[in-house]
């Protein structure tokens, strides 16, 4: 019986038509296919793609294209998904035992637009016209709640040259921004559909929902050279679990990053520091209710990548501290991940990754870990469009009741297989 179950699981993944983050508009602008900027099909940015991103989604930081065309600035991205989930048999309650194991999902439809608008100015905007929220049908779900529209990221960038050769410059961004070092280490163009837990998940049981993958409203400036990038940013520090929220207190958060690349493949080492303050009100983010305490917190981490023509190794190690209550009790946290991906050809590639997050290192049985393995293939790519298919398997372990303040009990091991088709124009 078990053999038949896993045979059906594999068949589901193969029969149902991974995330494509290559943007064909910029391929059209360059007159080249996706692999000009991406190591296809695992999709990580190569040296050309990284320079394009730093310059402000343009080939050169101070040069306008000879011809302006709308389809050089705008792309549409569509994602369809199917998945099979097998929760640990130790989980109880209707929410677990009756949860559907299989589902078909029209995941999202998004618009990406950006590029140079003047010699020193450029812009970027990512808008989700529809994104599935994971809500199921039922009496408590009304029309419209199962999908949302959101402005994910939007900023204006100004480049200012600092030498005659114009290969050292200051890049200033303002708007809804994400720290660039977080983007290039597993949040933007990437092999895996699921982002790494230390970057993508807030600490379990923590009212402060901060996570390194936090698009927030503010401004940053980056000193950019051939082999380095040093950035500092000032942002609202708002509740990142709420799309496009503004701050609920006067304090602004600060982040700093530095990245040094040491070979022609853009192998690099970097560091990141975030200093924040989260006001914990009686009702979350409602400053009309009583202020319970202010959480002074930070995250700091080391990032590294080693890249060659058809493979790479990427990893990060982060630590931090949170304030837990009005008495000033503290909790130290840590998280890390490591990834290896390999492109067999321009059309076929595979990857493997391990993630681990511990929200409070002084407490046992509250950690979350995830093992992930996947395969990507490009059905086709050109300067006008691309279609990528991926299959991804994850095994995630966690503890019942384990979080930033409480030790857990029963250990759960949950499995999921996801198949995704991504179309980009």
For residue 9, give the 3-state DSSP assignment.
Answer: helix
- The C-alpha atoms of residue 61 and residue 355 are separated, in whole angstroms, by 36
pLDDT in the model for residue 38: 82
Q: Average per-residue pLDDT in the chain?
A: 90
Better-scored residue on pLDDT, 95 or 336: 336
Could you write out the DSSP letters of every residue in 239-290?
-TTSTTPPPSSS--EEEEEEEEE-STT--EEEEEEEEEEEEEESSTT-TTSP
- The C-alpha atoms of residue 127 and residue 245 are separated, in whole angstroms, by 16
Tokens representing residue 240 in the block: 């990142």
Sign of the torsion angle spanned by Cα atoms 339, 340, 346, 348: negative
- Residue 242's CB is within 10 A of a number of other CB atoms, namely 12
For residue 99, give the 3-state DSSP assignment.
Answer: coil
pLDDT digits (tens, 9 = 90+) for 244-301: 788 889 999 999 999 999 999 999 999 999 999 999 999 988 999 999 999 999 999 9
For residue 39, give the 3-state DSSP assignment.
Answer: strand
Residue 170 belongs to what H/E stretch? strand 169-177
Q: pLDDT-based confidence at 18, cuts 50/70/90?
A: very low
Beta strands in 7-120 (DSSP E): 38-39, 44-45, 74-86, 102-116
User: Residue 243: is its pLDDT beyond 50?
Assistant: yes
Cβ neighbours of residue 248 closer than 8 Å, sequence gap 6 or more? 238, 239, 279, 281, 285, 286, 287
Better-scored residue on pLDDT, 380 or 399: 399
**Helices and strands, number each (H, E), in the chain:** 6, 18
Confidence (pTM): 0.90
Contact call for residues 295 and 275 (beta carbons, < 8 A): no
Q: What is the mean pLDDT of residues 85-99?
A: 94
CATH class, domain 2-355+378-394+417-424, is: mainly beta
Say which range, 10-24, 303-317, 363-377, has the weakest mean pLDDT.
Answer: 10-24
- The C-alpha atoms of residue 237 and residue 44 are separated, in whole angstroms, by 28
Exposed/middle/buried for residue 257 (C-beta within 10 Å: 0-12, 13-18, 19+): buried
pLDDT in the model for residue 141: 60
**What φ, ψ does residue 60 adopt, rounded to 5°?**
-135, 140
- The C-alpha atoms of residue 221 and residue 223 are separated, in whole angstroms, by 7
Q: What is the mean pLDDT of residues 73-85?
A: 95
C-alpha dihedral (111, 114, 117, 119), degrees to nearest 10: 180
User: Residue 422: is its pLDDT beyond 90?
Assistant: yes
Q: Domain locations in the chain?
A: 2-355+378-394+417-424
pLDDT in the model for residue 140: 58
Alpha-carbon distances of 14 from 7, 376, 390, rounded to whole Å: 11, 12, 9
- The C-alpha atoms of residue 283 and residue 277 are separated, in whole angstroms, by 17
pLDDT digits (tens, 9 = 90+) for 355-368: 999 999 999 999 99
For residue 356, the cross-strand partners are: 336, 369
Could you write out the DSSP letters of every residue in 312-343?
EEEEEEEEEEEE-STT--EEEEEEEEEEEEEE
- The C-alpha atoms of residue 131 and residue 278 are separated, in whole angstroms, by 28
- The C-alpha atoms of residue 103 and residue 146 are separated, in whole angstroms, by 14
HEC assignment per residue over 65-91: CCCCCHHHCEEEEEEEEEEEEECCCCC
pLDDT digits (tens, 9 = 90+) for 160-201: 999 999 999 999 999 999 999 999 998 988 889 899 999 999
Contact call for residues 408 and 399 (beta carbons, < 8 A): yes
Q: pLDDT-based confidence at 224, cuts 50/70/90?
A: very high
Q: What is the mean pLDDT of residues 312-319?
A: 97
């Amino acid at each position: 019986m078990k053999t038949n179950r896993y045979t059906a699981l594999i068949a589901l993944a193969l029969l149902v038509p991974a995330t494509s983050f290559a943007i064909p508009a910029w391929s059209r602008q360059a007159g080249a296919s996706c692999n000009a900027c991406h190591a296809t099909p695992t999709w990580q940015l190569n040296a050309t793609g990284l320079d394009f991103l730093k310059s402000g989604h343009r080939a050169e930081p101070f040069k306008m294209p000879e011809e302006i065309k709308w389809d050089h600035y705008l792309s549409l991205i569509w994602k369809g998904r199917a998945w099979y989930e097998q929760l640990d048999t130790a989980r109880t309650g209707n929410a677990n035992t009756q949860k559907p194991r299989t589902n078909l999902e029209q995941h999202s439809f998004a618009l990406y637009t950006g590029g140079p608008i003047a010699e020193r100015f450029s812009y970027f905007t990512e808008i989700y016209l529809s994104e599935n929220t994971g809500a199921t049908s039922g009496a408590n779900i009304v029309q419209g709640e199962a999908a949302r529209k959101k402005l994910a990221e939007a900023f204006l960038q100004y480049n200012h040259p600092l030498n005659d050769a114009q290969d050292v410059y200051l890049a200033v961004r303002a708007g809804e921004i994400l720290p660039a070092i977080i983007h290039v280490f597993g949040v933007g163009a990437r092999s895996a559909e699921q982002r790494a837990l230390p970057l993508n998940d807030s600490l379990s049981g923590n009212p402060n929902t901060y996570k390194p993958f936090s698009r927030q409203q503010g401004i940053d400036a980056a000193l950019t050279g051939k082999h380095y990038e040093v950035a500092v940013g000032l942002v609202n520090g708002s509740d990142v679990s709420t799309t496009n929220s503004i701050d609920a207190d006067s304090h602004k958060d600060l982040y700093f990053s530095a990245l040094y690349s040491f070979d022609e493949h853009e192998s690099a080492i970097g560091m990141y520091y975030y200093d924040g303050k989260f006001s914990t009100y009686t009702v979350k983010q409602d400053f009309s209710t009583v202020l319970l305490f202010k959480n002074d917190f930070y995250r700091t981490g080391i990032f590294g990548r080693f890249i060659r023509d058809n493979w790479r190794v990427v990893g990060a190690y982060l630590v931090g501290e949170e304030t837990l209550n009005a008495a000033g009790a503290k909790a130290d946290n840590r998280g890390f991940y490591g990834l290896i991906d390999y492109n067999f050809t321009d059309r076929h590639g595979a990857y493997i990754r391990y993630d681990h997050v511990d929200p409070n290192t002084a407490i046992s049985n509250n950690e979350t870990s995830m093992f992930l393995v996947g395969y990507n293939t490009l059905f086709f790519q050109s300067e006008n469009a691309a279609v990528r298919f991926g299959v991804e398997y994850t095994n995630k372990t966690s503890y019942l009741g384990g979080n930033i303040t409480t030790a857990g009990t029963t250990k759960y091991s949950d499995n999921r297989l996801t198949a995704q088709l991504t179309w980009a124009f």
